[in-house]
Structure 1
Amino acid sequence: MIKIVVASNEPDLRALIEIILKSSGYHCLFVENFQEVVTLLQNSSIDLLLFRATLVDNGRELVAIEPELQKIGVIWLVTKRYGVDEERVHLEFIDRYLWIPISPEELIDAVRDVLSKYGHSEPSEATAFRRKYRLK
């Protein structure tokens, strides 16, 4: 089973991501702070990390755990309102940037693309969801 971790201190964002990913057949684990991410990376196998930019000041904290992050897919959840942009926080181990607010299609496409980059196929429920709603 694919293990996706969503790291965000925003309950509404976590709920939205959970609804979208769960309805697409993905199973997620949710954490609320940077330390929980570090602990999970050290103690369990993760396939994909969706990381909310507001959990760290500017991404430099992530460099300390970069070796672990290079082994998994990383999607960086950012908002222009927060003042973070892809050019300013470009880290090699980030596979994809998603701007908040997120559309279901963008999220599913990003998750599918990043997981496939690391050799994971999507669950059959995700394929059925995309067919039902005529998504790519």
Structure 2
Amino acid sequence: MITVLVAEDDQNIRTLMASLLKQEGYHVLEVDNGEAALITLEEQAIDLLIVDIMMPKLDGYQVVRTIRNDNLQLPIIMVTAKETAEDKKNGFLTGVDDYLVKPIDFDEFLLRIKALLRRAQINLEGRLIIGETTLDLNSLSVSQGKSYTELPKKEFLLLYKLLSFQNKIFTREQLLNDIWGIDSLTDERTVDVHIKRLRKKFPESDDFSIITIRGLGYKGVANETK
């Protein structure tokens, strides 16, 4: 059974979220502050975290930052009343995978959870399929119809990362830390060089694109079916 941790200090909202998730067949754990969330993550196997920003002891940003600093690839949805572009930017830069603003549309809430869990499973299986394109982690290869391309490891991991979390913005620093290692002495411009190589190898893919987010970094997107 999939275990979801809900970290929310508003008891009514937390209880409602937990009830909806249980109805969908998830095992749910509840905490009302950031410190308890981190303790629970140490003691329990959690498949997905739902975290509010404004919480006692540790806020949502601090919780997510701690998780990512420990290099945990846990899927995280941030749920908050803060809805400015700057708030969302801070959330994504901290390392959340998705962001929902209160009051929550609970149908959308459940759909986003299912989408994040699918992505997490894809990462475990090491195989990602987007349209007619297949990325195979075991062979570091990209297949598109009759075309088969083996990539250098860093190029493959960069493409795999971006396409596993479609529409999520990654900064150059995040990509550098995740793929080259947090202790790497490699310059962030290395990311730009590898992106340029990938674009040359897949210049007009019908299935995906790598988008530059000015002033931030990059995101991978699945192209709409023509």
Residues 65, 94 of structure 2: 8 Å contact kept: no
> Which moved further from structure 2: 77-86 or 96-105?
77-86
**Which residue does the alignment assign to 2:95?**
93
> Which moved further from structure 2: 85-94 or 32-41?
85-94
SS at match of 2:108: helix
Residues matched between the structures, number: 120
Instruction: From the superposition, tell whether residues 27 and 61 of structure 1 become closer, same or farther in structure 2 (CA, over 3 Å).
Output: closer
**Which residue does the alignment assign to 1:115?**
117
Q: Which runs of 5+ in 2 are unaligned?
A: 123-226
**Which residue does the alignment assign to 2:75?**
73
Deviations 1:86-110 (A, max 9, x none): 0233235311101111112111111
Written as runs of structure 1 = structure 2, the 5 A alignment for 1:1-136 is 1-55=1-55, 56-57=58-59, 59-60=61-62, 62-68=64-70, 70-80=72-82, 85-91=87-93, 93-119=95-121
> Per chain length, whose mean CA-contact separation is higher, i.e. which structure has more relative contact order (CA < 8 Å, sep 6+)?
1
SS at match of 2:103: coil
1:13: how far off? 0.7
Residues 78, 84 of structure 1: 8 Å contact kept: no
Instruction: From the superposition, tell whether residues 18 and 108 of structure 1 become closer, same or farther in structure 2 (CA, over 3 Å).
Output: same
1:81: how far off? 6.7
SS at match of 1:118: helix
For the pair shown, the structure with the greater C-alpha radius of gyration is 2
> Of Structure 1 and Structure 2, which has the larger fraction of its residues in strand?
2
Deviations 1:42-88 (A, max 9, x none): 22211000001112457145323324573211000011379972023
Residues 70, 93 of structure 1: 8 Å contact kept: no
> Which moved further from structure 2: 98-107 or 52-61?
52-61
What TM-score comes out, normalization by structure 2 length? 0.47
Instruction: From the superposition, tell whether residues 69 and 39 of structure 1 become closer, same or farther in structure 2 (CA, over 3 Å).
Output: farther
| Percent of residue pairs identical | 27
Taking only aligned residues, the RMSD between alpha carbons, in angstroms, comes to: 2.5
Instruction: From the superposition, tell whether residues 89 and 76 of structure 1 become closer, same or farther in structure 2 (CA, over 3 Å).
Output: same
> Which moved further from structure 2: 90-99 or 57-66?
57-66
The 1-side partners of 2:86 and 2:59 are apart by 10
Q: Which runs of 5+ in 1 are unaligned?
A: 121-136
Residues 7, 51 of structure 1: 8 Å contact kept: yes
